[in-house]
């Protein structure tokens, strides 16, 4: 993994490919490369392949020094899985007249590699991807380009997105999707293939979404065909992307992450739009209408997700259990898929994924469906694999999130979980009055977030006092424990601080041994049902010389007498406070990262969409 771009048409491919790679930089990568085929009428018979380590700009510099021209090409940004970052390990991989870019993991690559070496193949890289190029090249000796690809695909196992071109069939491009994202943009007389619509929307808003196990063949004359791996023809029509190129630009902000933090009021509004009926205290979720009766009968819910989405799921557990009376478990997708979960037709499995392509989460969907559970998705990417494979679902409508560390996608996920709580609760024993109260306050949240964002400079000043700390604790109770986990994750991701999130009641059961003079602890201390308990935890840290940064609600005077630094947020319902508490933590982490001189949009070693195990 990480980013694929392909172009076939009547324009200079280099321009489109490099533009696409720049739009995919947010996904995280360590090297980049491209391959451009000469036209069928060119005197040049071999493709131009250029690869480099580092940023896309380094590749741009190399390409500018070479005579690279043509109307068909593939490009890639690599995030290392097999083999260290190097030119040899960068994509595309070329064997003979075959050129391949690949995202994902070829699970049986080692056995394939050994067999290929026995047949005389010489490997130039340490990657699993190169075996694909060798397999196709061997088949190409006896078969046409398409048949060679299909025969090679029958030998590989794993999760992959592949785009392949061939020197001696220069007006054709073949792509295949299997548990790794791939989207085809359809222009007037050309096609763009990419891992993400952000690399396509600048050129066209018409896209084809491939299902797993599908192959698409594109030609320069504007024709395309979609088939299964056993070559059965599939019918597929383009869909229209519902967001604009401007949404994927920085818009005057220094970083995408900062911009997306400030987009959160709009993200919440968009998550609620058309879904709230305050007069009746009800929620209308069109994506769940087909399963609403079944949903109201379920006896148990398991929320499955990864990373930040997992933290959203933990908040959802507190909401749903308290207000809808349904038992909820929250599991990491990577664990759920490998143990033997107790799943049956009387329960619902809700998967949360910003990209809608997370490999572990997608596997969890399939496991749950196989066992008869109702599967629901909360995703931001329209047409993504999870959106297509779940029984029903709800879109975030948060727009593109470019920063690797999630911000607005998280708050939109929380908003949808509130809506789901009300839907479930009103279908059981939640009163009209309670439903109306929650929804009325939920519609105030965008305004309350805006009031926090207007005081961003206060958090910048506080952050300066913690820039030199390489370790810290984030602590919260009840609804705010998941936000403590999320706050710790944010500062780990973008400032490389060894931060740990804890339920504050657990401090005395071990972590308090680390508290010494100056050790920083971030306490989430809103004035709620566990306020006094949180104050006690703060006193324990203060007594041992720890430094305290507290986020509390307006009017909580006791906090100021204990903490070294305090940031106050507006009051709201306890169940909605996480939507406000997380915003100061995002801003705090952002400023610590920036003050440390780090790339907060593209943190080291991280990828936006994790499509491998």
Residues marked active site are found at: 2, 608
Nearest to 527 by CA among 497, 560, 485: 560
Considering all CA atoms of the chain, what is the largest pairwise distance in Å, rounded to the nearest integer?
80
Strands (E), 325-408: 327-332, 347-353, 374-379, 392-395
| Total Cβ atoms within 10 A of residue 21 | 26
The DSSP letter of residue 512 is: G
Tell me if 130 sits within 8 A of 123, measured CB to CB.
Answer: yes
**What is the spatial distance between Cα 268 and Cα 282, in angstroms, rounded to a whole number?**
17
What is the Cα–Cα distance from 174 to 113, expressed in whole angstroms? 23
Closest residue by Cα to residue 478 from 376, 573, 348: 573
- E strand residue ranges, 62-157: 72-78, 93-95, 98-106
Q: CA 112, CA 132: separation in Å to the nearest integer?
A: 9
Polymer length of the chain: 613
Select from 358, 398, 362, 393 the least CA-distant residue to 377.
393
For residue 596, the tally of other CB atoms under 10 A from its CB is 14
Could you tell me if 6 and 173 are in contact, meaning their C-beta atoms sit under 8 angstroms apart? yes
Looking up tokens 């915003």 gives 583
Which class for 476: exposed (0-12), middle (13-18), buried (19 or more C-beta within 10 A)?
buried
Neighbours of 12 (CB within 10 A): 15
Give the pair of three-digit tokens for residue 527.
Answer: 């004035």
């Amino acid at each position: 993994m990480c980013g694929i771009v392909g172009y076939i048409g009547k324009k200079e491919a280099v321009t489109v490919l490099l533009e696409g790679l720049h739009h995919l930089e947010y996904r995280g990568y360590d090297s980049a490369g491209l391959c451009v085929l000469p036209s069928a009428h060119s005197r040049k018979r071999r493709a131009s392949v250029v690869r480099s380590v580092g940023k896309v700009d380094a590749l741009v510099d190399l390409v500018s020094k070479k005579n690279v021209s043509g109307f068909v090409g593939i490009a890639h940004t690599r995030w290392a899985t097999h083999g260290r970052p190097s030119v040899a390990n960068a994509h595309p991989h070329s064997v003979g007249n075959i050129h391949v870019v690949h995202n994902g993991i070829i699970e049986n690559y080692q056995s394939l590699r050994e067999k290929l070496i026995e047949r005389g193949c010489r490997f130039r890289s340490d990657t699993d991807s190169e075996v694909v190029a060798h397999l196709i090249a061997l088949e190409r000796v006896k078969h046409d380009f398409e048949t060679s690809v299909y025969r090679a695909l029958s030998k590989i196992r794993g999760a992959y997105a592949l785009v392949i071109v061939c020197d001696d069939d220069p007006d054709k491009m073949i792509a295949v999707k299997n548990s790794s994202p791939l989207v085809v943009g359809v222009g007037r007389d050309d096609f763009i293939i990419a891992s993400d619509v952000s690399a396509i929307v600048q050129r066209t808003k018409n896209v084809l979404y491939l299902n797993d196990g599908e192959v698409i063949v594109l030609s320069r004359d504007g024709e395309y065909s979609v088939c299964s791996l056993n070559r059965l023809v599939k019918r597929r029509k383009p869909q229209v992307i519902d967001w604009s190129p401007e949404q994927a630009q920085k818009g005057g902000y220094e970083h995408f992450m900062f911009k997306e933090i400030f987009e959160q009021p709009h993200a919440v509004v968009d998550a609620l739009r058309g879904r709230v009926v305050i007069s009746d205290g009800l929620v209308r979720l069109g994506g769940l209408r087909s399963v609403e009766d079944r949903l109201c009968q379920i006896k148990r819910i398991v929320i499955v997700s990864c990373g930040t989405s997992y933290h959203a799921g933990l908040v959802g557990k507190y909401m749903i259990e308290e207000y809808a009376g349904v038992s909820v478990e929250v599991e990491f997708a990577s664990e759920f898929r490998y143990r033997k979960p107790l799943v049956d037709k009387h329960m619902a499995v809700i998967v949360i994924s910003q990209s809608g392509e997370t490999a572990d989460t997608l596997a969890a969907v399939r496991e749950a469906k196989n066992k008869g559970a109702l599967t629901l998705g909360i995703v931001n990417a329209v047409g993504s694999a999870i959106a297509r494979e779940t029984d029903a679902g709800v879109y975030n409508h948060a727009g593109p999130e470019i920063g690797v560390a999630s911000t607005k996608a998280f708050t939109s996920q929380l908003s949808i979980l509130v809506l789901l709580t009300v839907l479930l609760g009103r279908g059981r024993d939640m009163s009209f009055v309670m439903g109306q109260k929650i929804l009325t306050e939920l519609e105030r949240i965008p305004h309350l977030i805006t009031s926090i964002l207007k005081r961003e400079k206060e958090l910048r000043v506080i952050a300066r006092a913690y820039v030199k700390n390489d370790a810290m604790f984030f602590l919260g109770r009840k609804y705010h424990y998941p936000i403590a986990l999320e706050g710790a994750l944010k500062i780990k991701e973008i400032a490389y601080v060894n931060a740990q999130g804890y339920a504050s009641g657990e401090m005395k059961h071990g972590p308090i041994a680390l508290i010494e003079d100056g050790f920083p602890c971030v306490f989430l201390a809103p004035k709620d049902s566990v306020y006094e308990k949180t104050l006690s935890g703060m006193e324990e840290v203060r007594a041992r010389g720890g430094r305290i940064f507290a986020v509390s609600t307006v009017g909580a005077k006791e906090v100021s007498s204990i903490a070294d630094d305090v940031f106050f947020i507006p009051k709201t319902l306890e169940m909605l406070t996480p939507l406000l508490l997380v915003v100061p933590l995002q801003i705090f982490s952002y400023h610590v990262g920036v003050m440390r001189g780090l790339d907060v949009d593209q943190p080291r070693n991280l990828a936006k969409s994790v499509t491998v195990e």
